[in-house]
Chain A
Amino acid sequence: MSIKNLLKIAMNALLRNKLRAFLTMLGIIIGVASVIAMLGIGQGSKLSIQQQIAGMGLNLVTVVPGSQQRGGVQFGASTMQSLKESDVAAILSDCPAVLAATPEVRGNGQAVFGALNWPTSLYGENESYLQIRERTVESGRMFTYQELNGAAKVCLLGKTVVKNLFGEGADPVGQVIRFKKIPFQVIGVLGSKGLNTFGQDQDDLILAPFTTVQKRVLAITWVQSIYTSAVDSKSTDAAQTQIEETVRRVHKIRASDQNDFTIRNQTELLSTFSSVSDILTVLLGAIAGISLLVGGIGIMNIMYVSVTERTREIGLRMAIGGKGFDILLQFLTESILLSITGGVIGILLGIAASKIIGSAMSWPIVVLPSSEILSFAVCTVIGIFFGWYPARKAASLDPIDALRYE
């Protein structure tokens, strides 16, 4: 029998029972839609984490001091005072995979302007900060190299600080604020970055030249961390290795001794969080996959009912010349039609649901074409797999018995 006739016969048979066909498809529709939506949510959360981690800085490689150890007692991470400003210079001159680097020192305290005050953090950085941490200056300007060298008392404010010291929408440029009683002239406002992955407000900060903060505010000789940017996303590992070698050399660490610093790069962080969201995706997908399986069993059930109910029809078709194979193909085509139609509707519904969930929860939802293709393929396989046994039952009927079936 030609494919055209086969499709026509299967279509006619399905259209004879529209409601039943629809209800059977519903299982597949819901299954596929939930697979698409769940994978979309999973992929979306992965993307959102990736974006946020990437947003922490450009191909970021971070160096922090190692943990202090005295008499066998560990004093926790980053407690050593081992990093110096000279390390930054060495990294910049000796590590070809590093694009830019800045030392960082920070202190917490109360910022005061007039009658208003606000507890915040003061960050001391160099002029590469904006590039490395991917931040912008919204109004005013960044401090200059001269101001950095001269430990000038200038600062840039984050949006949250501006809001709390000057009020919403006010322009603080040119004003003088005090932090730990030291006056700073505001020369700019940083562009907003919102909350980070861990819920920290990235706009609640004051940015000042590294030298000013280290010498005038904190009065320390070490730096608390070093942020560097690798030249591109592929070279973060190379940058990490080069920095490790350089800092070990500068710190004169013997080959047998451990590092007195720790290096982290974004890729590690990214893979940690990605693996979490991958597990999430697999879990959600598996649950949705089970509903797809149930949908498939629904098709099998209905096809069995259909074969029994249409025993006489099968007998007739055999009597007038239908071969067993024709009957098999007919029922298989019906179940494949059911599952594929359900699959297509499910994919559309899943995309729509993803969009709705995405906009309702302001999450990025990523519907990958691969998950659509996968769902479609799974539907076809379900159609064949769950249609096979009922179809074979139909094909193996004896025409005489089938014709007499009451």
Chain B
Amino acid sequence: MKKLIEIVKLKKDYFVGEVTVHALRGVDMVVNEGEFVAIMGASGSGKSTMLNIIGCLDKPTSGEYILDGIGISALSRNELSSLRNRKLGFVFQTYNLLPRTNALDNVELPLMYNSSVKSKERRERALAALESVGLSDRIHHKPNQLSGGQQQRVAIARSLVNDPVVILADEATGNLDTRTSYEIMALFQELNRKGKTIVFVTHETDIARCATRNVIFKDGVILREYEVKDRINAIEMLASIPEAD
């Protein structure tokens, strides 16, 4: 199985004034193609730092990070931008959709930064991405005309539109109620079933059980990591939750 993410002896220090904060103290981690990994941990455990580094938003202090065969340590800021644009998809807790901009334009956004994609193709791919998250009938809605769950679906469509090798989700269900959370997890599971690799940061144990593998961080190191035995099927879970009136 192909290693998409390979992290070796990764350390990350922050310098806050004169104090050095060791956010990550030597992490080894591998994510294979087709995996659905949930990263868990208390706040301050280093999981967000881990996600920032996996997302190429931050560079490690030491250690190796190889994303889809590319070592990122040697890359410049601009090269990292291009790498994010071509290989990664981001889903945030707060959706981060452009306000007063319709769903279609929001989803098209990553492709705007890819000059090899022409406007016609951009539109087609955005429409396809919105269809895959079940929002074909909402393409001209603006974020304030959509529910939280729908906004997160738009954000997921946006993360899909550039056909990334990995989708990174940071507390993607953190702002949603339980039922909507499982709807979003059902969507992630479906995408995973179609072959998408997903790395998902959460602090909710139940949500983490939707993934195929859990990685638990504590104090900047991996405390435990295990394959999820009793995996939750989000669609089945949804059926057991009464619909809100």
Contacts and interface: CB of A to CB of B under 8 A. Distances in A.
Give 5 nearest A-B pairs by CB, closest first: A321-B85, A321-B113, A320-B110, A16-B100, A323-B81
A16 B112 CA distance: 18
A320 B57 contact: no
A316 interface: yes
Given A321-B86, A403-B92, A12 B78 contact: no
A2 B115 contact: yes
A9 interface: yes
Given A5-B115, A323-B77, 16 more contacts: A5-B112, A12-B105, A16-B98, A316-B90, A319-B84, A320-B84, A320-B90, A321-B113, A322-B81, A322-B113, A323-B82, A324-B77, A324-B78, A326-B113, A400-B52, A403-B92
B55 interface: yes
The prevalent SS among residues of A at the interface is helix
Contacts of B57: 318-319, 399-400, 403
9 contacts: A5-B112, A12-B101, A16-B101, A315-B96, A317-B113, A319-B90, A320-B158, A321-B114, A321-B162
Contacts of A400: 52, 57-58
Nearest to A324: B77
B96 A403 contact: yes
A9 B119 CA distance: 13
Contact of B113 (A12, A312, A320): A320
A318 B101 contact: no
A143 B77 CA distance: 92
Interface residues of B, number: 29
Interface string A311-342: 01101111111111110000000000000000
A1 B115 contact: yes
Given A319-B90, A322-B113, A400-B57, A312 B81 contact: no
Interface of B: 52, 55, 57-58, 77-78, 81-82, 84-86, 90, 92, 94, 96, 98-101, 105, 109-110, 112-115, 119, 158, 162
Interface of A: 1-2, 4-5, 8-9, 12, 16, 312-313, 315-326, 399-400, 403
Contacts of B105: 12
Contacts of A4: 119
A121 B141 CA distance: 85
Contacts of A324: 77-78, 81
Nearest to B58: A400
A320 B99 contact: no
Nearest to B170: A403
Contacts of B86: 321
